[in-house]
A and B are shown apart, each in its own frame.
Chain A
């Protein structure tokens, strides 16, 4: 169908089709249109006002939604940080103390820290190669995965994990093939 003949064109054609043959009908249509408010009855007006209000509320809510995104529950954050604030206060009162020393001294606050290296404290520091652990690189892509981790990730520990992954898959596949060969020979 050509672009000019869309469904809107057809709709307009059918609406105005009678007027092509009747000038009086055309006049009446526009005359009534100018006095269309007469046709709007009282209950209909109420409905229109209600719809307008709902539309206005909807528009204002959608406008406020972006600003609402920039909001967080400060109380929740404080509650989540309560134990760590306690620990921080203790460390501030005892400058230079380490977690190892606290653990040795049997300080119960030391047990609050689940990550002794504090590495997770840095968003900067928990990046894997493209966000995937080295083991899976080696597991899925074998020597190629190891190469990716070594050259792209440039991380010895992750490369080691990739090699372990690669070896694990190799050992498993060899083991499975040996078992299947034995089973086939018995059959």
Chain B
């Protein structure tokens, strides 16, 4: 009798263990899904409040392990724009044209956030901003992120909205609560399970006047196996 009981218990535990494994495997696969590389054709159209216009077309390559965003620009002129650490390099015919400091580092770009599935909070979770308020209005979940106490004289709140579990809009306010910048993430494209906005509309308001920027991405390739040389640029050998 006891042997029979042990046999049943063993059988049950094995079956239940197997069942748990089968049920949990897909969720482990989903959580563990990480991407490393992204490549896309892009176009950036800008119209400033003073009427100035610019159009930039090309391809962008990003490998999160290298942390270099490389823009291979075909229009207006053939050249490369490369962001690495806090610097931007303008390269033409393998020669450095300009080298500019920037506060926009790779970790806070749409490419890095999308590859790490952290686009929903716009990367603010890993900053000193804290969640002030969360509300649901119609189909939007709006999170208000507040800057640290000591910087509230210079920085305002950032409102992030999510629609259908995808980042929809980001509103930047000045310390007085006036909207100074709006970003909208639209026309999401899903490639190999990675969701990436196909169009980003940005409206900057300075002294009551609006400037517009529309960025589009298409032909997105995720985790490309080839073209390794396109994802890394050796900047040590660059000279003016």
A: which residues have CB within 8 A of B?
63-64, 66-67, 69-70, 72, 77, 80-81, 83-85, 87-88, 91, 95-100, 112-125, 127, 129, 152-158
Contact = CB atoms under 8 A, between A and B. Distances in A.
Contacts of A66: 135, 137, 142, 159
Contacts of B77: 98-100, 116-118
Given A80-B47, A98-B77, A153 B101 contact: yes
Contacts of B78: 98
A154 B182 contact: no
B55 A88 contact: yes
Given A69-B171, A96-B74, A98-B78, A85 B45 contact: yes
A105 to B, nearest CB: 14
B123 to A, nearest CB: 15
B142 A113 contact: no
Nearest to A97: B75
A114 B53 contact: yes
A121 B103 contact: no
Nearest to B103: A127
Interface in B62-103: 71, 73-78, 81, 83, 87-88, 90, 98-103
Given A85-B45, A115-B52, A70 B161 contact: yes
Dominant secondary structure of chain A at its interface with chain B: helix
A50 B83 CA distance: 60
A67 B137 contact: yes
Interface string B33-73: 00000000001111110011111110000000000000101
B54 to A, nearest CB: 4
A112 B142 contact: no
10 contacts: A67-B140, A69-B171, A100-B76, A113-B55, A116-B77, A118-B73, A120-B54, A121-B56, A125-B102, A127-B101
A84 B53 contact: yes
Interface of B: 43-48, 51-57, 71, 73-78, 81, 83, 87-88, 90, 98-104, 135, 137-138, 140, 142, 159, 161, 168-169, 171, 179, 182, 184, 201-203, 212-214, 240
Q: Please give me the 5 A-B residue pairs with the lowest Cβ-Cβ distance, nearest first.
A: A99-B76, A121-B56, A67-B137, A118-B56, A121-B44
Contacts of A112: 53, 55
A152 to B, nearest CB: 7
B55 A124 contact: no
Nearest to A153: B101
B46 to A, nearest CB: 5
Contact of A114 (B52, B90, B99, B213): B52
Given A67-B138, A113-B54, A122 B101 contact: no
A120 B75 contact: no
A80 B75 CA distance: 20
Given A63-B137, A122-B44, A127 B102 contact: yes
